[in-house]
Structure 1
């Protein structure tokens, strides 16, 4: 008789759960803000959880990180200054910094503990991003930072946890208003907005705020296996026309950037904005 595997059960949703085997526990500690765990899984490699909710994995993080960075940066076409709110594992910074045309990246992370243990236990996510001289790491509350920053950002990426605990303030109308003020003319704000099939209110509330703030407010989608329950939505807000950039121009910008991706392509970029009816029905 073989030993039963140790399972981590994520119960983010009221009537739905997913489980991953904890093949080897590498880190388990509580900080001032949340409980951090890193473990190895046979399918997804190293897995990071906060309060037993999966945040990112070695195996599929590329989908989430590529779609939240390359879509707005390549759509903008001339982004020099980028702000990442959250993203303490360094994966978002890794993808943004692939763009040599980006001069400065501000990363605002509330929990220094996430950054430190990610450097040690998840170095494959950041791939040296924390050592890039273009990165300015600020340990602060993202909402407070956005309220006081001088701004001047071409792209703002909100890489938040779900709207519970420390991440809750990053889903408010006030925060979005401050973020818009921090954008340059034609700048783009993108956000993670959960899995609409299971977290519809999250998308509806964000889109209501975006539509009051931006001339172009919508979302785009990608399927990330460990964010279970269907495709994930990413909020999109801008006063420019970056969403209408033709495929041929995106293809040229992508080629000129000279970056390597595992999910993003210009074709996927354009298709991601084609939304299924149940998602459209969630948008006010």
Structure 2
């Protein structure tokens, strides 16, 4: 019989992925890392048996957390990524030639090391880009002490359990806002609202107290099962109102060729179903 990994992130719902070949299985100081091969999704990364990213569908998650705020802003120079040790987020940010500097703060050096070896298709050379500064540190500690000046901050966190829990607090969000430029944008991973509604509600409550424009947007990612995933959006600027023709112009000028993101998808992502809208304060 085939071996299956059963993800038990939710108390009353689970998904399983078949393990065609286990490529890596090891404990780090923070969590248990596995990389395995799956016929549909390619290489799959799990932390404590919770799916983090896959070779097959990671492009949706990474494109929507990077191109959307960068193109909405229109003049991004400095980007901060909290988490993202697999390198996929840095890969997409660095596609923008206009971005001069990216700081990536990852708590677990083991994630970076084995991602470079076992998941090179995710980073695609991003770790060797001279614009990338890799910092091995706790993201909450870093955000507390940084001088800031970031145009976009991307919180590519795990779920709010274990090492990632502190990245969902009001204190962390307040310190992240302090690290933004005046019209900077904070985007966050906020789970699947149908199954993790409280997580989104709590983040949006904090964002509403901090930002002039606080909402979320959606994308459907197959391995994050249970419906569309929500991404928190917070800014004091007017980036969300950027017209479609302006987004299209910026997109064309950037010269990128995403597999999921388009300017039209960008605008549509902010159209929320009723059950998601009701989770916002």
TM-score tier by shorter-chain length is over 0.9
SS at match of 1:72: helix
Q: TM-score, normalised by structure 1?
A: 0.99
Task: Report whether the alignment pairs 1:56 with 2:50.
Answer: no
Q: Which of these residues, 150, 154, 171, is aligned with residue 151 of structure 2? A: 154
Describe how 1:7-22 pairs up with structure 2 within 5 A.
7-22=4-19
Q: Match for 1:226 among 223, 226, 231?
A: 223
Q: CA deviation at 1:260?
A: 1.1
1:37 aligns with 2:21: no
TM-aligned CA deviation for residue 5 of structure 1? 1.1
Give deviations 1:57-77, integer Å, cap 9, x for gaps.
Answer: 000000000000000000000
| Separation of aligned partners in 2, 1:34 and 1:90 | 18
Runs of 4+ in 1 over 4 A off after TM superposition: none
* 2:100 aligned to which of 99, 103, 109: 103
Aligned positions, number: 281
d(CA) in 2 for partners of 1:239, 1:9: 41
Could you tell me which of 105, 109, 113 is aligned with 1:112? 109
1:198 maps to: 195
Is residue 86 of structure 2 the alignment partner of residue 83 of structure 1? Answer: no
The CA deviation at 1:132 is 0.1
Q: Name the SS of the counterpart of 2:5 in structure 1.
A: strand
Structure 2 unpaired stretches of 5+ = none
Deviations 1:192-239 (A, max 9, x none): 000000000000000000000000000000000000000000000000
Deviations 1:148-201 (A, max 9, x none): 000000000000000000000000000000000000010000000000000000
Query: Residue 68 of structure 2 is aligned with which of 34, 53, 71?
Result: 71
Distance 2:164 2:181 in 1: 25
RMSD: 0.3
Local SS of the residue matching 1:264: coil
Specify which of 241, 246, 251 is matched with residue 244 of structure 1: 241
C-alpha distance in 2 between matches for 1:6 and 1:190: 36
The residue number in structure 2 matching 1:170 is: 167
TM-score scaled by length of structure 2: 1.00
- Selected match of 1:141 from 138, 149, 165: 138
CA distance in 1, matches of 2:48, 2:120: 21
CA distance in 2, matches of 1:61, 1:154: 24
The CA distance in 2 between the partners of 1:103 and 1:47, in whole Å, is 31
* Secondary structure at the counterpart of residue 228 of structure 1: coil
